[in-house]
Structure 1
Amino acid sequence: MRRTVQRRTAITFIALMALLVPTLPAAAAPPPDSVIVLQGATSAEGIAAGKGDTFYAGDLALGDIYRGDISEGTAKLFIDVSDFDSARRAAVGMKVDVRNDLLFVAGGTTGHAYVYNTRTGQPVADLTLGAGFINDVTLGRDGAWFTNSAAPELFFVPVSPSGTLGAVKKLVVSEPAGGPVKPGEFGFNGIAAAKGGKVLIVAHSRDAALYTVDPQTGESARIRGVRVPNVDGIVVRGSQLWAVQNFSNRISRVDLSGDLTSGEVEDVITSGKFRIPTTAALFGNTLAVVNAKFNQPTATRFEVVLVSARGDD
């Protein structure tokens, strides 16, 4: 019975998400790409790279976690939240701390963050961050950073070298990134660490922009020359950034300047398999991208799409 109630909650939650972002036409699609089905998922949004070719993806509205392998093209349920928690959880953005075998998951409207052991699948922590929409997470030098889409703030969870979690801290972000967010708008969305964790890069959905944020002071600056409508999750490797643009059904690959003050869109990655992609994980020259299907509230199949990280190159 509880599972049935959760599935109904999932449908309602996805329908609400669809109202937050305007629908735009899809970009031109290249030849078909590989797809990995998240068998049994009722919704989807987040993905994270684990060890080797392993990935983790979440059921957005139920909070369940799937584990898969991009080389084998398979995925199966790894963590069933109902096994240990009677309260509703959610799974939005996520990131793996490979060294400590920890999976950090943003909890959306719950205001929580969840941490799991990637070897056993057991829950490690249920952290209260704050009211709003806890959207995405990245790993910095000494811990995990979470975005709140409803307020100009980030939450930091310290992680010791041995994997011990510390007390949650809040960082208020200054303007221009930290302007007020109206009800129903999405401000901060995806987040990534750059320059060894000395700088954070935050995607801002309402502004169609990317900002740098100083993790010590909260000072922010817009990355000039980059406009990314419907920006959602982001991935950074060196001077390259991939910005997933959900309702645009595309991913922009951005070449960042050395000082991160500006950038240029080098190419746009599309796929005929994209159905509102939200987040991506990078495996060498392959992106594993989650289809959220926010505009299909009755969808019964959710999947990960594999595409080249360099488009048609």
Structure 2
Amino acid sequence: MSLITKPTLGHKRAKYARRTILKAIPLTGAAAVGSRTASAGTTPPETLPLPTGFQPEGIVTGRGSAFFVGSLAGGAIYRGDLRTGEGEVLVRSAEDRVAVGLSYDPRGTNLFVAGGPTGRAFVYDAETGETAADYTLTDPGSFVNDVVVTAEAAFFTDSFRSVLYRVPLGASGRLPEQGAVDELSLGGDFEAVRNEFNTNGIDAPPDGNHLIVVNSTTGMLYRVDPDSGDASEIDLGGETLTAGDGILLDGNTLYVVRNRNNAIAVVELEPGASEGEVVREITDPRFDVPTTIAEFGSALYAVNARFGVEDPENAEYTVVRVPKRSNPPT
């Protein structure tokens, strides 16, 4: 789901080309992290700390109040509790792994992870942290960005290719062998900008009869057929959502993180998602290049990726809680 806006996109792509796989940070044996703002019996913390140097990108909720955040640096996965703010590293970093977008399958304990420039997809047991599957989706050097799990499959976006990768799922979310993985070409109205980040965040309604994706560079939203890949532009009345990153669909309301804008756009979709209206933006002074969001109750939780921060390996990172319906006081 990562995006650095147009003036710095080339720098980001060059950065990945130089290193191919992001350097793993020393998160093995990391100590648990506790919230600096919460105590037992109080309201959920407004700000949740992540391990120093974690370099987060994706977030998703699991069972109960559990949440998971992935690291761009070494693919570590952090598991925490939204009620207490406490947590610890579940999956340790590795030199050949990256974690970008995340999706959780509630039918079991599988946590799906987009592997960014590795060209791979990883599936972890959300309880134990063990690797359940490791799929090759494309050649290294592309950018597998985000993922959504439906009843039928896990769908992954690629920001450098106009395709979706589909990992079909069996009964109760049973994982397939590598040979079952395929790709869908994005057709219809979909347009990509050469040498830029394109397809980014992805989500789907509970019935899974269509997918919604955002193009970070053009700011267009698309409704995509999960069987054919045919994409129809969602008419926003001339509005665009440039710098669109992670998205979250809640009924007919779509939340679109606009990372460099430090904002979350709120889009009210018509039934069927053929058109919609950007009704407002959620902002917060604590936003520092948020990339993705998860929901819990009446709140959204945004990851601060802090792209461009000095000395990222030693920087502090957080997840911030904001209400869905209105801006918090400044």
Length-normalised TM-score, structure 1: 0.86
Paired position in structure 1 for 2:109: 101
The number of aligned residues is: 285
Paired position in structure 2 for 1:278: 291
One-letter code of the match for 2:79?
Answer: R
Cα deviation per residue 1:136-158 (whole Å; 9 max; x = unaligned)?
00012312100000011000111
TM-align CA RMSD: 2.2
- Shift, 1:176, TM fit: 2.1
- Shift, 1:19, TM fit: 2.3
Does 1:74 find its partner at 2:86?
A: yes
2:284–2:327 CA contact under 8 A, matched in 1 = no
Paired position in structure 1 for 2:130: 122
Paired position in structure 2 for 1:308: 323
Does 1:40 find its partner at 2:48?
A: no
2:62–2:106 CA contact under 8 A, matched in 1 = yes
Paired position in structure 2 for 1:250: 263
1:160–1:18 distance in 2 versus 1, CA, 3 Å: farther
- Shift, 1:298, TM fit: 1.5
Q: Distance in 2 between matches of 1:129 and 1:56?
A: 23
Paired position in structure 2 for 1:7: none
**What is the SS of the residue equivalent to 2:56?**
coil
**What is the SS of the residue equivalent to 1:243?**
strand
Q: Distance in 2 between matches of 1:64 and 1:303?
A: 15
1:17–1:135 distance in 2 versus 1, CA, 3 Å: farther
Paired position in structure 2 for 1:20: 9
**What is the SS of the residue equivalent to 2:226?**
coil
Paired position in structure 2 for 1:26: none
Q: Distance in 2 between matches of 1:250 and 1:202?
A: 18
2:4–2:260 CA contact under 8 A, matched in 1 = no
1:228–1:171 distance in 2 versus 1, CA, 3 Å: same
- Shift, 1:181, TM fit: 4.1
Task: Pick one of 153, 160, 171 that aligns with 1:143.
Answer: 153
Q: Please show how residues 278-297 of structure 1 align to structure 2 within 5 Å.
A: 278-297=291-310
Cα deviation per residue 1:200-248 (whole Å; 9 max; x = unaligned)?
0001101111100001111111111142121000000110100000000
Q: Distance in 2 between matches of 1:40 and 1:62?
A: 14
2:3–2:243 CA contact under 8 A, matched in 1 = no
Q: Please show how residues 174-253 of structure 1 align to structure 2 within 5 Å.
A: 174-177=187-190, 179-183=191-195, 185-194=196-205, 196-225=207-236, 226-253=239-266
Which structure exhibits the higher relative contact order, with contacts defined as CA atoms closer than 8 Å and separated by 6 or more residues?
A: 1
Length-normalised TM-score, structure 2: 0.82
One-letter code of the match for 2:137?
Answer: L
